[in-house]
Structure 1
Amino acid sequence: MLHRALDEDNFILSQFIHKCSALGFVSYAYSIFTSNPNPNIYLYNTLISIFSRQQHLSKDAICLYKQARTIGLYHDTYSIPFVLNAVTCLITSTQIHCEAILTGLNNDVHVATSLVRIYSSFGCISDARKVFDEMRNKDVSLWNAMIAGYVKAHDMDTAKYLFVNMLEKNVVSWTTIIAGYTQGNQFSQAIGVFRKMMSVEVSAKPDEVTMLVALSACAHLGEHELGEWIHSYIIKHRFRRTVSLNNTLIDMYAKSGNVKKAVELFESMEIRSGVTWSTVISALAVNGCGREAINMFSRMEMVGIRPNSVTFIALLSACSHAGLVEEGRLYFKTMEENHGISPDIRHYGCMVDLFGRAGYLDEAANMVKMMPFEANAAIWGSLLAAARNQGHVELGEQALQHLTEVEPHNSGNYSLVSNTYAALGRWSEARVARKIMRDTGVQKSPGGSFIKVKDKIYYFYSGDRSHPQCERIYRVLSHLNRASKTILHEYWEYVELLDADSPQEDHL
């Protein structure tokens, strides 16, 4: 380039600088830029874009942006979106927005999209909406940015309203809504949007990210049939099987109870991350395969993958579910000694659960006393449940006392103690526990369940009358109850008429 004087062409030079940066030679790329005697705004934009993608160079990107204006160059519709990617404070964002207004660049849809994103990232959703509303010509990227802003602000109602009113939707639009519902634990709604996406014509087919968030919702809902369909769709359409996508598939199969399929998928993976190993260990743990989980951890160590704190949570959970007390003690001890991982409150919670399930109540109580954290509701609840199962009323009372301090409105805690007294025949104490619950205004949560009808999930609770067809539902339920009683009555009349000498088991 020097020999042919091509370095004087800023367009070619910017391409060369961009390639140097992509190969990791950022300092060299910058030295070429500084040696250029006549840089134009295009060359500045290239460097600003490079610096904005690296967090430690974000301040340099902003300095270059200011420097361009100082030497008399005018920013264009690329300068502002690039520099906004490097901004880390709201004041700077506002200053750049003001400059965009003064130069008329705020009317460009790309600039507006960047402003919506930056305001949303700082939680200024009303400012982002103002920028959005002032734009006459909105493209799909601007709509997606505004919807993503409401998703980030946990306002799914407004996000869904904008989504419904979009004239043109692409795969990002659909995926953003599905991800928003999934992140907000509204898994049924996420699945509903995904099903609709697959049933209508969209400008782009679902991608790996869409499948990842849909599989996550399937895992939480136990929608194994849909999860398996998604897996088949991924194979059929030859999706890029990223590690994160495979990890989510393993988690989905594990939570659906198909641990065999989860392990098969794990074994078929050519590339595995630490998250992959932790996921399959957790999959084995939650399905009661404690020994298999320990063996998998040994394999993980043998191949040189370093476990993290999440790995040990899965491992200790496996020991707890399988009743492997000695193994649990060993792993809890060695996680810090051999791997340099300090146990946090979740690891202590696993140990309390392990000792409690195995009947080692004294060790469980001592673990709570010796840990360097204040016990949370999960730990006291685990200790209370263990005391309930072992009939240890005094420990149960102690756990309840702490639970009422950290979780005063949980009716399940009072029910556990009341049931513990009742199991021991101490009915007066059981009534006292119930009376305390009533006197303190604690309401017992109603029992709940769900049912899937025509690919839609309906939630219902004890005494629930919120469904629009509840009268019809209760009417059918009443008919079923009457029919059941009639059948049982006729059956026992038939049994009484049988010959007494005839073996009753034959008739049953």
Structure 2
Amino acid sequence: MHLLPFSASLQLPTNKRLAEQLISLLRHCSTLKHIEQTHGFMVTRGLDHDNFLLSRFIGACSSLGLSPYAYSVFTRKAEPDIYLYNTMIRALSFSQKPPKAAILLFNNIQSAGLRPDSYSYPFVLKAVIRLLATQTGRQIHCQTIGVGLDSDLHVVTALIQMYSSCGCGCISDARKLFDGVCLRIRDAIMWNAMVAGYAKLGDMENAQHLFDCMPERNVISWTAVISGYAQMNRPHQAIAILRRMQLENVEPDEITMLAALSACGHLGALELGEWIHSYIDKHELSRTVPLNNALIDMYAKSGNIKKALKVFENMKRKSIITWTTMISGLALHGLGREALELFSCMERARVKPNDVTFIAILSACSHAGLVQIGQSFFSNMRSRYGIEPKIEHFGCVIDLLGRAGYLQEARELLGQMPLEPNAAIWGSLLAAAYTHGDAVLGERALQHLIKLEPDNSGNYALLSNIYASCDRWKASRLMRTVMRDKGVRKMPGGSFIEVKNRVNEFIAGQTSHAQFDEIYEVLCNINGQLRLAEHLQRECDELLEHGQG
């Protein structure tokens, strides 16, 4: 976000000492009470008549989430200038409450005898993005053309961000706007906005192509592409871009590492994740709460739960995401009781759980087989915590009951659901039917899964195995035939191995690995040695038998 200009018409008040005192007070404000006291300091000394100082006050309110208070002060100002209008619009755009007020205030600028400038439009477009108000955005775009600001770098960038944030249907408008000015404006800011727009929508082919064509790149450009690949669950490409970034001597920042850690978590690349952790500490990058959360998530998903706990315990500030991530990590490692204890610690710390926290805690109960505790948490969601259960919560409890063998209870909860069960729920029931040998439930689950996941070979194979476990061999063979007749192909198996910070992927039947021939030769040698060892062992056994005879 670019800074507001220091307008020539704005001057500090004649009493410079009072102004400096006020600015110092604003820096130390951390609560509503502080803001109210500082406001009183301003009013009693007449400082609230100064637009510049009032804008600083509004900015302080906004940073503390007190935009409504700031707005009440703003409305009492007799003649706010455009600088003050811009500050208030920005505060409302970033407010936790719906930012419609920012757009209404923007519309009042001209009726106040003022003219929106190159800062007014980017700020109000932030509100448009949050509201996904595409039509309002188009109207504002028309206004920028009317006042001749449609070629301004910051305005064009904000318009591109607006169009690319309003869904796939508007990305072509963003690209048309970009293509119209990209030859005249070669600044990385605008190019980054277009690359990020494609990445946000998951169109990584266009994002990558545009990234490769950029006249100049900065750390934001690289981060946008890495984040895009990580969000699209394409971690290999994300890590490849990170390596390329290093080769071109571009230093990653905290946001880059946040995206890279997400990719490491997907791959289970512990060594690479540890290298990133070391890089963060060595280069003294800011250990923000989100970055620490990403480290916890990476370590948990990569198998080192002790390191995850160490990062968690060393954090001075923890958000609800921090607690939830750690609870999820413990659940993933089958440490259900430890996850429950951590949930109790979270409540003692007066951190209020959210719906994602309950997915984590119900999952922990499921992995640990804590049926009654899990059911208790589920029933308390609405009554005690005021959280309406979503389909994911129903899915967790059905999985909990199914794993523990409470199939009838799982069926009953399925019937009570106010939502249509999804593939994950039917899949967990199919798995429970396999574990406990319930062919009837397995058949019912597969009937729904065929509609929801017609190409998932695993579902057919699982029901075939259920029939086989019940000695229904004819039905088992028939299921394999049905699978073949429908053209459902079995997904090839795959595996990952991390060697020297590089994750290698192997898929059955594929020969695309760069070192395939060398690996195959080594495997043949190992196979030959195993056969020779087996032959020698057989000869030894025969000699022993002959000697004993």
TM-score w.r.t. the length of structure 2 is 0.81
- The aligned amino acid for 1:398 is R
2:369 to 304, 310, 323: 323
Provide the C-alpha distance between the structure 1 equivalents of 2:194 and 2:54, rounded to a whole number of angstroms: 33
Provide the C-alpha distance between the structure 1 equivalents of 2:402 and 2:126, rounded to a whole number of angstroms: 51
Secondary structure at the aligned position of 1:305 is classed as coil
Tell me the residue number matched to 2:383: 337
Kept in 2, the 8 Å contact 1:100–1:106? The answer is yes
Secondary structure at the aligned position of 2:150 is classed as helix
Provide the C-alpha distance between the structure 2 equivalents of 1:199 and 1:97, rounded to a whole number of angstroms: 40
Counterparts in 2 of 1:431 and 1:131: CA distance versus 1, 3 Å:
same
Tell me the residue number matched to 1:277: 323
Tell me the residue number matched to 1:314: 360
- Structure 2 counterparts to residues 335-484 of structure 1, below 5 A: 335-452=381-498, 455-467=501-513, 477=523, 480-484=526-530
Counterparts in 2 of 1:230 and 1:47: CA distance versus 1, 3 Å:
same
Counterparts in 2 of 1:336 and 1:107: CA distance versus 1, 3 Å:
closer
- Using the TM superposition, give the Cα deviation of residue 461 of structure 1 relative to its aligned residue in structure 2, in angstroms: 2.5
Kept in 2, the 8 Å contact 1:129–1:146? The answer is yes
2:157 to 101, 113, 125: 113
Kept in 1, the 8 Å contact 2:299–2:305? The answer is yes
Structure 2: 5+ residue stretches without partners: 1-11, 20-48, 62-68
2:125 to 59, 65, 84: 84
Provide the C-alpha distance between the structure 1 equivalents of 2:389 and 2:234, rounded to a whole number of angstroms: 32
Deviations 1:36-77 (A, max 9, x none): 6xx5x5565455545544414222332134336xx4x55543
Query: In the alignment, is residue 248 of structure 1 matched against residue 256 of structure 2?
Result: no
1:213 to 259, 266, 273: 259
Q: Identity of counterpart residues, as a percentage?
A: 51
Kept in 1, the 8 Å contact 2:134–2:166? The answer is yes
More displaced, 104-113 or 181-190? 104-113
Query: In the alignment, is residue 126 of structure 1 matched against residue 163 of structure 2?
Result: no
Deviations 1:441-463 (A, max 9, x none): 32222222234466444434322
Tell me the residue number matched to 1:9: none
- The aligned amino acid for 1:392 is D
Provide the C-alpha distance between the structure 1 equivalents of 2:282 and 2:431, rounded to a whole number of angstroms: 47
- Using the TM superposition, give the Cα deviation of residue 406 of structure 1 relative to its aligned residue in structure 2, in angstroms: 2.8
Kept in 2, the 8 Å contact 1:52–1:61? The answer is no
Tell me the residue number matched to 2:110: 66
- Using the TM superposition, give the Cα deviation of residue 154 of structure 1 relative to its aligned residue in structure 2, in angstroms: 1.8
Counterparts in 2 of 1:75 and 1:474: CA distance versus 1, 3 Å:
same
More displaced, 281-290 or 483-492? 483-492
- The aligned amino acid for 2:195 is I
Q: Superposition RMSD on alpha carbons, in Å? A: 3.0
Provide the C-alpha distance between the structure 2 equivalents of 1:382 and 1:260, rounded to a whole number of angstroms: 29
Provide the C-alpha distance between the structure 2 equivalents of 1:306 and 1:372, rounded to a whole number of angstroms: 26
Counterparts in 2 of 1:291 and 1:494: CA distance versus 1, 3 Å:
same
Provide the C-alpha distance between the structure 2 equivalents of 1:366 and 1:160, rounded to a whole number of angstroms: 49
Kept in 2, the 8 Å contact 1:255–1:283? The answer is yes
- Using the TM superposition, give the Cα deviation of residue 172 of structure 1 relative to its aligned residue in structure 2, in angstroms: 0.9
1:292 to 323, 335, 338: 338
Counterparts in 2 of 1:4 and 1:491: CA distance versus 1, 3 Å:
closer
Secondary structure at the aligned position of 1:449 is classed as strand
- The aligned amino acid for 1:403 is L
Provide the C-alpha distance between the structure 2 equivalents of 1:294 and 1:151, rounded to a whole number of angstroms: 37
Counterparts in 2 of 1:125 and 1:487: CA distance versus 1, 3 Å:
same
- Using the TM superposition, give the Cα deviation of residue 19 of structure 1 relative to its aligned residue in structure 2, in angstroms: 0.7
Kept in 2, the 8 Å contact 1:144–1:173? The answer is yes
2:60 to 23, 26, 29: 23
Kept in 1, the 8 Å contact 2:272–2:501? The answer is no
Counterparts in 2 of 1:108 and 1:470: CA distance versus 1, 3 Å:
same
- Structure 2 counterparts to residues 31-42 of structure 1, below 5 A: 31=75, 33-35=77-79, 39=81
- The aligned amino acid for 1:340 is G
Provide the C-alpha distance between the structure 2 equivalents of 1:468 and 1:392, rounded to a whole number of angstroms: 46
Provide the C-alpha distance between the structure 2 equivalents of 1:387 and 1:48, rounded to a whole number of angstroms: 57
Kept in 2, the 8 Å contact 1:243–1:273? The answer is yes
- Using the TM superposition, give the Cα deviation of residue 184 of structure 1 relative to its aligned residue in structure 2, in angstroms: 0.7
Deviations 1:262-298 (A, max 9, x none): 1222222222222222221111111011111121122
- Using the TM superposition, give the Cα deviation of residue 29 of structure 1 relative to its aligned residue in structure 2, in angstroms: 5.2
Secondary structure at the aligned position of 1:85 is classed as helix
Deviations 1:85-121 (A, max 9, x none): 3445334433443443454433332222222222222
Secondary structure at the aligned position of 1:105 is classed as coil
Kept in 2, the 8 Å contact 1:320–1:353? The answer is yes
Query: In the alignment, is residue 263 of structure 1 matched against residue 309 of structure 2?
Result: yes
Query: In the alignment, is residue 170 of structure 1 matched against residue 210 of structure 2?
Result: no
Secondary structure at the aligned position of 1:498 is classed as helix
Deviations 1:123-143 (A, max 9, x none): 422222222222213111011
2:201 to 153, 169, 190: 153
Kept in 2, the 8 Å contact 1:48–1:64? The answer is no
Tell me the residue number matched to 1:57: 101
Kept in 2, the 8 Å contact 1:381–1:403? The answer is yes
Aligned length: 490
Provide the C-alpha distance between the structure 2 equivalents of 1:50 and 1:160, rounded to a whole number of angstroms: 34
Query: In the alignment, is residue 232 of structure 1 matched against residue 278 of structure 2?
Result: yes
- The aligned amino acid for 2:164 is S
Provide the C-alpha distance between the structure 2 equivalents of 1:137 and 1:402, rounded to a whole number of angstroms: 54
Counterparts in 2 of 1:467 and 1:215: CA distance versus 1, 3 Å:
closer
Tell me the residue number matched to 2:234: 186
Kept in 1, the 8 Å contact 2:398–2:428? The answer is yes
- Using the TM superposition, give the Cα deviation of residue 148 of structure 1 relative to its aligned residue in structure 2, in angstroms: 0.9
1:100 to 141, 144, 168: 144
Provide the C-alpha distance between the structure 2 equivalents of 1:500 and 1:276, rounded to a whole number of angstroms: 68
- The aligned amino acid for 1:208 is E
Kept in 2, the 8 Å contact 1:109–1:138? The answer is no
Provide the C-alpha distance between the structure 2 equivalents of 1:260 and 1:412, rounded to a whole number of angstroms: 34
- Using the TM superposition, give the Cα deviation of residue 385 of structure 1 relative to its aligned residue in structure 2, in angstroms: 1.3
Provide the C-alpha distance between the structure 1 equivalents of 2:547 and 2:333, rounded to a whole number of angstroms: 48
Provide the C-alpha distance between the structure 2 equivalents of 1:402 and 1:146, rounded to a whole number of angstroms: 41
Counterparts in 2 of 1:97 and 1:59: CA distance versus 1, 3 Å:
closer
More displaced, 477-486 or 384-393? 477-486
